[in-house]
Structures are given as structure tokens and as C-alpha cells.
Structure 1
Amino acid sequence: MIFSFSATPDFDFMTYFARYIRATVQNDLLVIPDHLGQGYIRKLAFGPDFKITIHRYLLKEDLIINRNTSGQGNDLVTVFFYSNEQALEIAYNDAPQVLFSQRDESAIQVTSNDLNSTIRFPAHQTIHYVVVAIKPPRLTELLAVSEPNSVLQTITESGNSFLFFERMEAEIKQLLKNVAAVDMNDRLSHFYMRIKVQELLYLVFHKLSLRENAAHQPINSADAERLLLVRNEIIGDLSVPPVIRELAQRAAMSETKLKQLFKQTFGTTIYNHYQQARMEEAAFLLKQGKHSVGEVGYELGFSNLSHFSRIFEKHYGLNPKRYSYS
């Protein structure tokens, strides 16, 4: 099942998706028809310039969502919260889709409205994601920051093209679960949801506000595509450190541009991103895979286990052996 749309500022996903699957919307709720799967899509509006759409479903066939630019400007900020147990496949600019993440299949994406993207949600797997759409003036009013850093300036000023990824921490995951569990028949549910959505935005933009205050580099769909391919290359084999020169060649970018755009988009350097993914994989293998410290260290390319232990403890506050028993 492939659903394509143009991301105009006034586009309403649920209305058009309902027409596409020949379903009806009642009280801003779309129930997935039985022949397609089970679950729902719910929309709440907190005014004409601020809304949230909640997706929770399990489908009988793959769902591919193609989001195309409208050419009518990009005066909209979209925040995607992906909280899924399976890996997401996301691509830009009609590129082959790549797995977004490896062990932790959750992520937050903050983007302008002028980037093409394709997301594939696999069949027979529970899908949970939330989309917040808000116009820059409303977001500026909510944030009420007197001296925003370059990231917040870029996002809240109209007309900028941007893409930022953030990690989803436990607090945000729990908030998303609470939002999905709200009884919408409760008279104060809308009031509660507005508070919780603003809390979600606070947690995301607080993290973005802590990023380095550097000049913003414009980004387009082709750049976004290359950055995800580079990221996929980095996490594809965590036993081998990334080589910037080789990654730049594959991305058809200069080394300087690649390093600048990668850090801007993911909030950290290529090597730090690699090291973080490496430690997350180590933690997973120690806890879930029941591997020994030596097996994990050597599998992730460490020839010196003392060095592995020092880096792991720096990330998790415990050495690998104590972590595996914690």
C-alpha cells in the first residue's frame, strides 16, 4: 500500500488517507478497516496553526508513505516521534530506503516542510508514531526564548530548510505511551493532551537548545538522502571506525561539508555518533545477548579490553562486567 501526498501547509493527512483507504473519519478518529488491519489514526487541533496526529496500528501489508514537497513554501515545522519495536526504513529524494536505527528503533525528527521523504512501515508489526505540526510563529510563542541558539533560530524563522534528528530518551517514550492511552471521552482530555504535547515539545527543543551555536548550513532532500546513507554506513559494521575521506566520497560531498552537515543534523560528530552506536550495541549484547565482556569487546573491534571497559564505563557509569549483572 503506497500513499503519496504533497506537503502543503494546509494538508490534512488523516482526511486524505481516509479517502485513500475508503474509510470514514468520525470525531477526528479514523479506525483502520478490518480488511487492512487494526488500530487507528487520531487528530487533535490546538488551533489552526498547531495540531497533533497519533498513529497506532498493525497492518496486513506494508505501508509506504511518500511525502513530496508542494512548492508552496515551507512555513511549517513538523516533529515526528517514531517509537517502534522494529527498525524503520526512511529515505529522502527517492533513494533506496535504509534502516534508520539498529538496536533502538525510536527516534525524533524535526524538519521543515520542503524535504521529500519516504517511510516504509512493515506489515504485521505494531506501528506507533506521533506527528506534531506547528507554524513557526506559534512555536516561537510557546518557546518564549529571549536568546535562542542557532538551531532554534533556524527552526522558528520562516522559510528555512532544515532536518534535525534527536535520540528518544525514556521520558519521551513514557510520555508518548501516556498520550496514546488517554480516554478521549473524558471531558478534560483535550486540555490534558495539549499540556502533554507541549511537554513533548519542551523535551525536544530543550535538547536542541543545548546544541552548539554554529551557523546553519542549508539542507535539501539530496543532502538528507546522503546523510542517512552515511549514517547507515557508519552503523553497518561497528567493528570498523569510520574513515571520513571514504564516507565523503560515497556521499559525493567534500569532507568539510559532510562533517558540518552531519554534526548539524545529528547533533554530534561522525566519530562520536559511531562510538555511541558502538556502546549501545555493546550494552545490548551484554544484557540481552548474554555475551561475555571479551566476546563483546572483540566483536566490536577492540583489541584492548581495558580500553573497551574504560569507554563503556564513560558512557554507562559502570564497567561492562558490572553492567551485565546490573
Structure 2
Amino acid sequence: MIFSFCATPDFDFMTYFARYIQATVQNGLLVIPDHLGQGYVRKFSFGPDFKITIHRYLLKEDLIIKRNASGQGNELITVFFYNNEHALQIAFNDDTQILFSQRDESAVQVTSNDLSSTIRFPAHQQIHYVVVAITPPRLTQLLAVTEPNSVLQTISGGGNSFLFFERMEAQTKLLLKNLAAVDMNDLLSNFYMQIKVQELLYLVFSKLCLRESAAHQTINSADAERLLFIRNEIISDLSVPPLIRELAQVAAMSETKLKLLFKQTFGTTIYNYYQQARMEEAAFLLKQGKLSVGEVGYELGFSNLSHFSRLFEKHYGLNPKRYSYS
């Protein structure tokens, strides 16, 4: 099923989604009808300019959510948390669906509401994701940063088009799990949720605060789609280092633009992103225990195993052999 909507600040996802699947909403809770699957969508509102929607369900058919740009500029900031065992498929045009992650399928996406996107949630798989929607003035009030870096200035300032991705840390995953387990019979549940959602935003923006300040490069839906495709190209074969010239040709961008937009969106350079993914894949393979340290190194393109061990220890604090037994 395909649910399409226009991302205006006053749009209420739950109300229109309930109509689409012919369900009812009671006290901020939408229960998925049995003929479609099982689970729920729950919404908490902390005023007209700040709300959170929690999605937890398993569906009998694919769900495609198409968010169309509002055409009204940056009047709403969306922070999207996807924490799941299966790969998120996301696109910013109606073209190829891109798997967001190869091993750790968790992601945090911060975007303005003037970018269109399409997200596919596969059938027969547990879907856990959370969306926080907040206006720039309310976010500015919450953050109360006297000297924000360029990233925070871009997000909290009106009229900017932006897309930022962050990896989801264990603390964020635990907090999301706790949010889904809130006792709704507790009279102070809404108050508790507001505190915890602010903590969630703190974890995201504390990482964005660490990014270096640089002039913001305008991004559109086509750019965002190309960047996700490039990211997928980088991790599709971790035994081969990325070549900027070839990636730029694939993205139909200049090398300069690709490097700038990639670092702006993912918070690091293309090569550093590749090395991080490489080490994460090495850690995954070592924990599986099916391959030796040497086999893992060769699988990831290392001809010098001493170099592999030094690089792995730099990332994880343990050499590969000790890590595999930890």
C-alpha cells in the first residue's frame, strides 16, 4: 500500500493515515486493523509546534510512505529515527530504492520539510521508527545555544533546505525502546514523554554540534537521492576503496560538489565513511566467528594484515583477535 502526503506544518499524519487504512484514533492511539497486520501508531503532542509519532507494527504487505515537499520552505524540522533489524529503503526521488545500512540498520535523519522522500517498509518484518516534528523557533528555544555552529544555524534558521544523517548510538536505541514501553495509564505519561523526547533530541544535536562549521551547501531532492546512491556504492564492495572521480561521474556532480555535499550530509569524508563501514563490517564478521582474522582482513581488501590489525585497534581499542573473543 502507498500512503502519500504533503509535508505542511499543519499536516497530521495519524489522522490521515487512519482514514487511509480505515481505522480509528482514540486518545492518540491508532491500532493497525487485523486484516493489515498488527501493532500501532501513537502520537504525543507538546503543543502545535512540537510532537512525536511512534510507529511499531508488522504488516502483511509493503508500506510505502511518500512525503511530498510542502513548497513552503523550511517551516518544520523532521527528525526521523529508524531502529530495526532489517534494512530501511529510502529514496528522495521516485527512482531506485536504496538500502540505508548493510549491517546496523539504524539511522537518524534530520531534514527540512521541503525535500520529498519515499520510504519503503517491507511486509512481514517488525517496523520500529519514531518521527519528531518541531518548528525552527521551538527548536531554537530548546537548544538555547549562544554560539551555534553552521549545522545548527542551518537547521534552526528559516528557509534552508537540508539533510543530515547520523549513526544511531546504543544510548539512543535504548531510549527509543523505553519510549515505546511507556505506561499510558500513568497520569504523568505525557510529561514523561516530553522530557524523554527532549533527551532524544539532545543526543542527536550534541553530535551535530561536533561537526565542523562550514558554509552550508543548498541541497534538493535530486541531490539527496544521488548522495544516498553514492553511499550505497561505497559500501557495496568494501574491499575496493572509493574513487572520487568515478563516484562523481555516477552522481553527475563535480568532484568538488560531491565531496562537499557528502561531508555535509554524513558528517565525514567519503574515504573516512568507507573506512568506518569497513571496520564495522570487520567487527560484524569477527563476531560471527566463521572467518579467521586473516580471512576477514583479506575479505575486506587488506593485503597487509598488520595494517588491518592496527586500523581495527584504532577504531575499537582491541586488536581483531582479542575483539573476536571479547
TM-score range, shorter chain: over 0.9
Question: For residues 96 and 199 of structure 1, what CA distance do their matches in structure 2 show?
Answer: 35
Give matches, 1:19-30, under 5 Å: 19-30=19-30
Q: Which amino acid aligns with 1:90?
A: I
Give matches, 1:1-326, under 5 Å: 1-326=1-326
Q: Which amino acid aligns with 1:256?
A: T
Q: Which amino acid aligns with 1:57?
A: Y
Q: Which amino acid aligns with 1:152?
A: L
1:299-318 deviations in Å (ceiling 9; x for gaps): 00000000000000000000
Identity across the alignment (%)? 86
Whether contact under 8 Å (1:9, 1:74) holds in the other structure is no
1:70 to partner: Cα distance: 2.1
Question: For residues 28 and 288 of structure 1, what CA distance do their matches in structure 2 show?
Answer: 42
Alignment length (residue pairs) = 326
Question: For residues 290 and 172 of structure 2, what CA distance do their matches in structure 1 show?
Answer: 28
Q: Which amino acid aligns with 1:33?
A: P
Whether contact under 8 Å (1:58, 1:123) holds in the other structure is yes
SS in 2 for 1:73: coil
Q: Which amino acid aligns with 2:206?
A: H
* Unmatched 5+ stretches in structure 1: none
Q: Which amino acid aligns with 1:102?
A: Q
1:291 to partner: Cα distance: 1.4
Question: For residues 103 and 208 of structure 2, what CA distance do their matches in structure 1 show?
Answer: 23
Whether contact under 8 Å (1:112, 1:161) holds in the other structure is yes
1:199 to partner: Cα distance: 0.1
1:9 to partner: Cα distance: 1.1
Question: For residues 181 and 166 of structure 2, what CA distance do their matches in structure 1 show?
Answer: 24
1:41 to partner: Cα distance: 0.2
Report the TM-score, using the length of structure 1 for normalisation.
Answer: 0.99
1:140-161 deviations in Å (ceiling 9; x for gaps): 0000000000000000001100
Question: For residues 71 and 143 of structure 2, what CA distance do their matches in structure 1 show?
Answer: 28
SS in 2 for 1:65: strand
Whether contact under 8 Å (1:110, 1:164) holds in the other structure is yes
Question: For residues 250 and 307 of structure 1, what CA distance do their matches in structure 2 show?
Answer: 30
Whether contact under 8 Å (2:73, 2:158) holds in the other structure is no
SS in 2 for 1:172: helix
* Unmatched 5+ stretches in structure 2: none
More off after superposition, 172-181 vs 89-98 = 89-98
SS in 1 for 2:79: strand
SS in 2 for 1:67: strand
1:194-238 deviations in Å (ceiling 9; x for gaps): 000000000100000000111100100000000000000000000
SS in 1 for 2:184: coil
More off after superposition, 2-11 vs 143-152 = 2-11
Question: For residues 192 and 265 of structure 2, what CA distance do their matches in structure 1 show?
Answer: 32
Question: For residues 229 and 43 of structure 1, what CA distance do their matches in structure 2 show?
Answer: 32
Question: For residues 248 and 298 of structure 2, what CA distance do their matches in structure 1 show?
Answer: 28
Report the TM-score, using the length of structure 2 for normalisation.
Answer: 0.99
Q: Which amino acid aligns with 1:26?
A: Q
Which stretches of structure 1, 4 residues or longer, exceed 3 Å deviation after superposition?
none
CA RMSD in angstroms, aligned pairs only: 0.6
Question: For residues 72 and 260 of structure 2, what CA distance do their matches in structure 1 show?
Answer: 28
